[in-house]
């Protein structure tokens, strides 16, 4: 048995892939349980709001200004000093290259100065393994990642072992929310704004398309839906408050019906491949996972298929450093090697290296 499995381990995590600067110390107990000792996140929302999306240069500069202070705060809250840690984990991709450079270089510097192993973590792996931190979930399970930059359905087979079953062939879902909000004159970020407006809307007023529904493949497409929203808005311009609410509700309804079809087929495929698992699990992660209607849709879908639905707390669904620290701990506990100080950041870094590259998937755009 790996010696790491029998000891307590603590890692400092650093996350700077987009517009949150974050640092966290996470503990892994000898029995495999995770414990978040600190999780400090600084949002850059106000810096980017006027631009309607994340400006890479502004984001990188903000990371430089804030990261050292956040790391100090994370260590202080955790009650651990650098010499007491077992390693350093920093996001190395995918993401905005300027921010990745800031976080990874900081992680390298700390690792070298403190003589600790460095784990260059794939941001998507952080999301994929969060449910093991929060719910002690066993492998294998399905994960739906829905954010401003990614919409993917992934089979999580083990630490470092992932199989992408579906991805967006154009816009990510969070990007579609943001662009819909911008089109309707709603504030950034678009996801919460569309959800709030939809509360007062009629989801059946506009018969918007449900892209790829009925197709056997498990990919997603939201560009056509976004175009249909623009056409609906143009056809009744100028828009009143109720018109905006109805378009938002119709858009959200179309998204939820689309996900029900796409994910439902994924659940059936998982069942066929793993018939011995009595109650398999679907995990949802990413900023769009906070949407109440989408959560209710997925929860009901899982009940219909006999799956357990797991949605980590919102602060662990969006970008954070606790998931990066935990991914480093999982790799350490599994006996996987640490990374050398020559490791480089990667703006694109698919979890499933063998999956076909689709034009437009995995774009890093404005976030939801």
Give the domain CATH number at 131.
3.30.420.40
Domain check: are 68 and 175 in the same one? no
Q: Is residue 189 part of a domain?
A: yes
Mean per-residue pLDDT over the chain, rounded: 92
CA torsion sign, 144 to 146 to 150 to 151?
A: positive
CA 328 to chain centre: 17
Residue numbers of the domain that contains 56: 3-135+315-333
CA pair distance 5, 28, nearest whole angstrom: 9
Is the peptide bond between 189 and the residue preceding it cis, with omega within 30 degrees of 0?
A: yes
Domain check: are 258 and 191 in the same one? yes
Q: Is residue 343 part of a domain?
A: no
CA pair distance 168, 171, nearest whole angstrom: 6
Name the 3-class secondary structure at 154.
strand
- The arithmetic mean of pLDDT across residues 127-155, rounded, is 94
Domain check: are 184 and 265 in the same one? yes
Domain check: are 119 and 154 in the same one? no
CA 333 to chain centre: 23
Instruction: Give pairs for 167-170: CB < 8 Å, separation 24+.
Output: 167/219, 167/220, 167/355, 167/358, 167/361, 167/362, 168/219, 168/220, 168/221, 168/222, 168/358, 168/360, 168/361, 169/219, 169/220, 169/221, 169/358, 169/359, 169/360, 169/361, 170/221, 170/222, 170/223, 170/360
Domain check: are 246 and 291 in the same one? yes
Question: Any idea of the CA torsion for 176, 178, 183, 187, to the nearest 10 degrees?
Answer: 160
Residue 4's pLDDT band (cuts 50, 70, 90): low
pLDDT reading at 184 higher than 70: yes
Cβ distance 135 to 154 under 8 Å? Answer: no
Q: Is residue 358 part of a domain?
A: no
CA pair distance 196, 290, nearest whole angstrom: 12
Question: Any idea of the CA torsion for 353, 358, 359, 364, to the nearest 10 degrees?
Answer: -50
pLDDT reading at 365 higher than 60: no
Structure tokens at 257: 């019906």
In percent, the amount of the chain with pLDDT more than 90 equals 84
Is the peptide bond between 327 and the residue preceding it cis, with omega within 30 degrees of 0?
A: no
pTM of the model: 0.92
Q: Is residue 357 part of a domain?
A: no
- The arithmetic mean of pLDDT across residues 287-312, rounded, is 94
- Which helix (H) or strand (E) element contains residue 213? none
Domain check: are 191 and 282 in the same one? yes
Q: Is residue 160 part of a domain?
A: yes
- The arithmetic mean of pLDDT across residues 182-186, rounded, is 95
Structure tokens at 249: 């509700």
DSSP 361: T
Residues 9-40 pLDDT 10s: 999 999 999 989 999 999 999 999 999 999 99
Domain check: are 223 and 121 in the same one? no
- The arithmetic mean of pLDDT across residues 276-303, rounded, is 94
How many separate domains does the chain show?
Answer: 2
Phi/psi of residue 27, nearest 5 degrees: -110, 135
First to last CA, the chain: 42
pLDDT reading at 367 higher than 60: no
Residue 357's pLDDT band (cuts 50, 70, 90): low
Domain check: are 172 and 225 in the same one? yes
What is the structure's pLDDT at 54? Answer: 83
Q: Is residue 82 part of a domain?
A: yes
Q: Is residue 352 part of a domain?
A: no
Q: Is residue 264 part of a domain?
A: yes
Burial of 135-170, coded b for 16+ CB within 10 Å and e otherwise, reads: bebeebbbbbbbbbbbbbbbbbeebeebebbbbbbb
Residues 309-331 pLDDT 10s: 999 998 998 899 999 999 999 99
Cβ distance 162 to 351 under 8 Å? Answer: yes
What is the structure's pLDDT at 74? Answer: 98
Domain check: are 219 and 300 in the same one? yes
Domain check: are 154 and 225 in the same one? yes
Residues 55-66 pLDDT 10s: 888 889 999 999
Domain check: are 195 and 295 in the same one? yes
Domain check: are 178 and 79 in the same one? no
């Amino acid at each position: 048995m790996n010696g790491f499995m029998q000891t307590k381990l603590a890692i400092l995590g650093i996350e700077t892939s987009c517009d949150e600067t974050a640092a966290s110390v996470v503990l892994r107990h000898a029995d495999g349980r995770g414990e978040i000792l600190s999780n400090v996140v600084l949002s850059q929302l106000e810096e980017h709001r006027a631009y309607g999306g994340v400006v890479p240069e502004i984001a990188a500069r903000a990371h430089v200004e804030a990261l050292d202070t956040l790391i100090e705060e994370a260590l202080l809250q955790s009650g651990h000093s650098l010499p007491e840690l077992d390693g350093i984990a920093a996001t190395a991709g995918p993401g905005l290259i300027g921010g990745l450079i800031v976080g990874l270089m900081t992680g390298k510097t700390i690792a070298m100065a403190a003589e600790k192993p460095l784990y260059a973590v794939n941001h998507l792996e952080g999301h994929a393994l969060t449910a093991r931190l929060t719910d002690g979930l066993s492998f294998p399970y399905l994960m739906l990642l829905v954010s401003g930059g990614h919409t993917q359905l992934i089979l999580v087979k083990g630490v470092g072992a992932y199989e992408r079953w579906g991805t967006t062939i154009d816009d990510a879902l969070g990007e579609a929310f943001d662009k819909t909000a911008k089109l309707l004159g709603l504030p950034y970020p678009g996801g919460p704004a569309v959800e709030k407006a939809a509360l007062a809307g009629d989801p059946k007023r506009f018969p918007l398309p449900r892209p790829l529904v009925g197709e056997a493949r498990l990919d997603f497409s939201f560009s056509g839906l976004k175009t249909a929203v623009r056409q609906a808005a143009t056809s009744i311009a100028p828009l009143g408050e109720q018109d905006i609410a109805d378009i938002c509700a119709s858009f959200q309804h179309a998204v939820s019906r689309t996900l029900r079809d796409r994910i439902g087929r994924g659940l059936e495929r998982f069942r066929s491949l793993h018939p011995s698992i009595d109650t398999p699990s679907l995990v949802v992660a990413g900023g769009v996972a906070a949407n109440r209607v989408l959560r209710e849709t997925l929860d009901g879908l899982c009940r219909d298929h006999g799956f357990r639905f797991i949605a980590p707390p919102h602060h662990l669904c969006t970008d954070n450093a606790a998931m990066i620290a935990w991914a480093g701990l999982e790799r350490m506990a599994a006996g996987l090697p640490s990374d050398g100080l020559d490791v480089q950041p990667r703006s694109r870094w698919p979890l499933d290296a063998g999956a076909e590259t689709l034009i437009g998937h995995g774009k890093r755009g404005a976030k939801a």
